[in-house]
Every structure is written in C-alpha cells, then in structure tokens.
Chain A
Amino acid sequence: MMQDLVVYLVFIGYAVAVLLLFGTVLTWVERKQAAIMSDRIGANRAYVRIPFTQIKLVWLGLFHGLADGIKMMLKEDWRPNSYDRFAYALAPWVVFTPVLLVFAVIPFGGTLVPAKLLQSVPSLSAWFGDRSYPMQIARVDAGLLVVFAFGGLTIIGTMLAGWSSSNKFSLLGALRAGSQMISYELIMGLTVLGLILIYGTVDMNAIVQQQSGVLLGFLPAWGIFLQPFAAVLFLTAAIAENKRIPFDLPEAESELIAGYYTEYSAMKMGLFMFAEFIEIAIIGALFTTLFLGGYNLPFMTDEGFVLPGNHVVPIGHAAIVVIQLVVFLAKMLLMSSFQILVRWTLPRFRWDQLLRFAWKFMFPLALANLTVTAVVVWALQA
C-alpha cells in the first residue's frame, strides 16, 4: 500500500505542477501569440535583475506572469459592502477548485511499471514488485461523467460571485454566465455521447487505448476522424463553457465592466483569471484525450508502435513513459494555442445571437450527429 501512496503522490504533484505551470505560462503565451498574430513584439519589459550586477534577464517577457502574480498578491483586497460576505469569499474557490479537480480523471500517460523504471536501483525495484499503475490520479470508471459533474460546479461559483457582490453588473453577468454555461454544457454532453456510443465506455483510459488502433488501414483511430462534427461542436461548446471570446458575454468589458467578478480585486480576481487559464489547459487536455488519441502518438500503444500492416516496433518502458508524457503535454499546448488563436480572431457574439447559436444551430447539429452515430453503430453491430 505504501507503494501506491508514493506513486499517487508523485502523480498528484505532477498534475498540480503541470496545471499551475500551464496557468502561468498560458498568460504569457496569450500575450505573445496575440502580439505575433498582429505583427507586434509583445510584452517584453518585465525583467529579473541579477543582484549586484546590471544584468537584466528578460527571457522574452516570461517574467510578466510573475509580475502579474506579485501585483495581485500585494494589491489591496477590497471588499464591497455585501450582505453575504461568506458567499463572496467562497465564490472564487468554487470556481477554481473544480477546474483543478477535473484533471484528476484525465490520463496523462499510459501504464507505469515503477519496477521497470527503477531497474538500476534493485532494492526500490524489488519494493515495487510487479505493480503497474495507469498514469492518472483517480482511476474512475465513470471518468467522463466526473468531468461533466465537476465542470457543472463552476456555474455555482459564478452565480455565487454575481449574487453576493451587491452589484447590478455582477448580477447581470452571473445571469448571463448561468444561462450560457447551462446551454453549452448540454451541447458538450450531447457531442460526447456520440463518442461514448462508439467506444462503449466512459473510462478515459479505455477511450485513449481504443484510439491507438487503425482506421481504414492507414488513419490512426483518433476520435477526430471518427467524429469530426462532434470534435468541432465539442471545442466550440468548451470555449463557450470557459466564457472566452467569442463567448465572453458574461464578462463583456464594454457592457458589464467585468461581469460577475466586477467587485473582486487582488488575488480573488486573480483566482478567477487563473481558473480561466487553467481551464484552457483542461479543455486542451480533454480534447486531446477524447479526440486526439490522448498521450499516444499515432499507431502507438503501451508496448511500442504498431504501424499499419502489423509492423511492430517495440520501445523500452522508460522511453515509452517519457514519450507519452511529452506527447500529452505537447498536444495540450497545441490545443491551448488553438484556443488562443480563436480568442484573438473572432469578434464577440451579441447576447441573443449567442443563445440562438446554442439552441438553434449547435443543439440540432449535435442531435443529428448523435442520431447518425447511433444508426451507424447499430448497423455495424447488426
């Protein structure tokens, strides 16, 4: 049992480190990518000076995230004269915590056999024995359902924040956030249903393992090739879930100042922002897991590559683990970058357009996709 504890503590440490790192680095990526997209240089003024020298480390402006963090920590934590201080203080955490928790069920690597990794240290290797662990914090059979359960919790946080701020803008923002997130969560669920029909499971690890096969003899059996419509709809709905442009009506600056977190300052506001950036990474991770073959390269399994035509290229365990971790992070970063590209390309919706888009355009499409998938799966099984 001690072995399990050690391994899972390492997993949890890795997951938290990855999420917090993504949260801070994505603020930098967002600034720089937006700048490069619009022919600018981007944030590059924050620096760390090596003490007692005049050497200033700029590092392409990476320290701007640090400067933001320090600023938010040191700012006055101003509170509105709210009748519900408790809810006001609780709301940022209700938004922030579920976002972190979602990552618990996402597999960020294949099967880990510690004994094989630690062959050079025989005592440790013997201690671990022949245990193997899927690289995932919580191995839940209902993985996808847990994702949606926790994803739904953030609505409560935004509603709490808007309600307890004693501010009309906050309340309006919270109402918008509530209706928007409920609408788009429904679409997210419907699009994923098609995948569940195909894979026959909601266990995230099983979903990833099924994607290492081959389609039609040459395509990797990724979700995006099986369900291209669902992939587009899912990504759209997920961005709407995250309340980013073009779906940022709950916090539309020109209309609602900052929406439901108008009255928040200092690190409480920082938590909302941080949650938003971590959610970008989470959406990237979810999309990777469901549609892009998860932690595997095309045609790759836990044993090695199985190329079309049954050419097997076995790889050592340590190399497999490293490749899987790196590939997962790379795919996550790529999807985060794509979301930032969307955010700096599209203009914002109008409120009625937003809901009409959800209920009159995406909802029927998701239903149609589900119907077609169900019919095809039934026909193939019969």
Chain B
Amino acid sequence: MKPYARKQYWNKPTMSWWERAYLPEILRGLSITGGVFLTNMWHWMTFRKGALTTYYPEETRPDYAAGNRGKHVLTQRPDGRPQCIACNMCATVCPAKVIEIEAAFDPDDPAHPKYPARFEIDYSRCIFCGLCVEACPEDAIRMVKEVPDLPTYDRQQLWLSLPELLNWNPQRDVAKPYPAKAGTESTAKAGTENTPKGGTDTLKGPA
C-alpha cells in the first residue's frame, strides 16, 4: 500500500517569512480588534452609540430604504373606510397564502357595495414579496418602509386585522395627497369621521 500523500493544489497558499514569524501578524490582528473595541468603547463612554445593531424592539432603525417592503397598510377613502373592494386578488396571488378576506355587502354605498368585513394577514408566514400590492386593482393595499411591530410571545398575535392595517395616515402621504388638500371641507370631515362605516364590531379586535 502506498503511503498517503496529501493532494497538492495549484493555488496552495504560501506565507512570507514575516507571516510565518506568527507573532507580528497576531499583534496586527489584536490591534485591529482592540482598535475597534476602543473606538466603540469611547463612543459608549461619551454617551454616543458604539454599535451598528439596535436595541430592538425599544429602538428601531430610522434608515430603512425608501422602497423597503415593510408592513402592509390598507388605504382609505376620504371618509375613512377601506378602499378595498374585497375582490380577493391579493389573497389569490399571495404565494404564502397569508391573506384572508371576508366580503360583506353594504347597501348604503351603491358605488362600492362590496367591502371587507374581515381582512387579516398572518405575519408568521408572510414573506414580504409585495405581490399583493402589485395585484391590487384599487391601490387599496400598500407596503410602507417601516417594519411591523411583531415580537410577541403568542403566534396568534401575528394575525393583524383591519384595525392594525387601517392605521395609514393619508395626510402625511407625500406620494399621493389623499384625501383632498388641507383647508377643504372633506379634510375636516375625514378627521372627525375616521372610523369605517360598516362592520364596526369586527374592528374591535385586539389592540
């Protein structure tokens, strides 16, 4: 039997004598990590932040990209009702099948007789792909850059329903000033009647 010979590779790493002396390179490594430590420690001791990470969930990063697909919001009509017409297109396109919509009939609004009595997203399975936003024909669902405040001890808490999803504040939306500009009558009206007309009982979910 032939003695075992280690295979030789063409790109076998070689070390110079300086690197092979070991100690200088060790000292270089220690100076790098020690330097990082001292810099960060100096930041902490002068009451600044010395870490790249955040103290989540007490503290969240302010520097999400503008196009970040964070939490979902349901846009609202000027009277505060969801713009959603319960067509189920988002639920159909959703690859993770996390959206559940229960449609209801509203005889008082002939223009939009169909509205969601229940609109729930299971964030324990949501993959934040944004396909629901693409699919929506009514611009009723959007994704904002802030991430949802999800940490919880209970899986059931990860189902967000209409009250959480309807917290979109149209006055602050710069991309689409909606409802009408401030000063007109409709703005004042939207401010006072900021609850959806139908299905108020389903809106009393867990806060």
Residues of A within 8 A of B (CB): 33, 35-41, 44, 232, 341-342, 344-346, 361
A232 is contacted by which of B23, B44, B50, B52 (Cβ under 8 Å)? B23
**10 sample A-B contacts, Cβ–Cβ < 8 Å, listed by A number:** A37-B34, A37-B36, A39-B36, A39-B51, A44-B55, A341-B30, A341-B37, A345-B30, A345-B34, A361-B22
Residue-by-residue, is B14-38 near A (CB-CB < 8 Å gives 1, otherwise 0)? 0000000011001001101110110
Does B53 sit within 8 A of A, measured CB to CB?
A: yes
Chain B's nearest CB lies how many Å from the CB of A352?
12
Nearest neighbor of B51 in chain A, beta-carbon distance: A41
Chain B's nearest CB lies how many Å from the CB of A237?
14
Alpha-carbon gap, A346 to B34, bound state (A): 12
Cβ–Cβ < 8 Å partners of B37 in chain A:
33, 36-37, 341
Q: Is the CB of A345 within 8 A of B51?
A: no
Alpha-carbon gap, A342 to B52, bound state (A): 22
Does B41 sit within 8 A of A, measured CB to CB?
A: yes
Cβ–Cβ < 8 Å partners of A33 in chain B:
37
Q: Is the CB of A36 within 8 A of B50?
A: yes
A346 is contacted by which of B29, B44, B53 (Cβ under 8 Å)? B29
Does B187 sit within 8 A of A, measured CB to CB?
A: no
Cβ–Cβ < 8 Å partners of B29 in chain A:
345-346
Nearest neighbor of B36 in chain A, beta-carbon distance: A37
Cβ–Cβ < 8 Å partners of A37 in chain B:
33-34, 36-37, 40
Cβ–Cβ < 8 Å partners of B52 in chain A:
39-40
Cβ–Cβ < 8 Å partners of B26 in chain A:
346
Cβ–Cβ < 8 Å partners of A39 in chain B:
36, 40, 50-53
Cβ–Cβ < 8 Å partners of A344 in chain B:
33
Cβ–Cβ < 8 Å partners of B50 in chain A:
36, 39
Q: Is the CB of A341 within 8 A of B51?
A: no
Besides A39-B50, A341-B33, A345-B34, 19 more A-B contacts (Cβ < 8 Å) are: A33-B37, A35-B51, A36-B44, A37-B36, A37-B40, A39-B52, A40-B51, A40-B52, A40-B53, A41-B54, A44-B55, A341-B30, A342-B30, A345-B30, A345-B32, A345-B33, A346-B26, A346-B29, A361-B22
Chain B's nearest CB lies how many Å from the CB of A123?
46
Q: Is the CB of B40 within 8 A of A36?
A: yes
Alpha-carbon gap, A36 to B45, bound state (A): 12
Residues of B within 8 A of A (CB): 22-23, 26, 29-30, 32-34, 36-37, 40-41, 44, 50-55
Alpha-carbon gap, A44 to B33, bound state (A): 22
Cβ–Cβ < 8 Å partners of A342 in chain B:
30
Cβ–Cβ < 8 Å partners of B55 in chain A:
41, 44
Alpha-carbon gap, A39 to B52, bound state (A): 5
Alpha-carbon gap, A40 to B29, bound state (A): 19
Cβ–Cβ < 8 Å partners of B53 in chain A:
39-41
Alpha-carbon gap, A68 to B34, bound state (A): 27
Alpha-carbon gap, A294 to B131, bound state (A): 68
Alpha-carbon gap, A94 to B50, bound state (A): 42
Alpha-carbon gap, A257 to B55, bound state (A): 32
Chain B's nearest CB lies how many Å from the CB of A187?
15
Q: Is the CB of B22 within 8 A of A36?
A: no
Alpha-carbon gap, A13 to B29, bound state (A): 39
Chain A's nearest CB lies how many Å from the CB of B187?
40
Cβ–Cβ < 8 Å partners of B54 in chain A:
41
7 A-B pairs with least C-beta separation: A39-B52, A345-B33, A37-B37, A36-B40, A41-B51, A40-B53, A345-B29
Alpha-carbon gap, A232 to B21, bound state (A): 14
Nearest neighbor of A42 in chain B, beta-carbon distance: B51
Nearest neighbor of A344 in chain B, beta-carbon distance: B33
Alpha-carbon gap, A35 to B33, bound state (A): 11
Chain A's nearest CB lies how many Å from the CB of B39?
9
Chain B's nearest CB lies how many Å from the CB of A27?
18
Q: Is the CB of A36 within 8 A of B51?
A: yes
Chain B's nearest CB lies how many Å from the CB of A356?
12
Alpha-carbon gap, A37 to B36, bound state (A): 6
Alpha-carbon gap, A131 to B50, bound state (A): 51
Chain B's nearest CB lies how many Å from the CB of A170?
29
Nearest neighbor of A340 in chain B, beta-carbon distance: B37
Assuming the A-B contacts A44-B55, A232-B23, are A36 and B33 also in contact, with contact meaning beta carbons closer than 8 angstroms in the complex?
no
Alpha-carbon gap, A361 to B44, bound state (A): 40
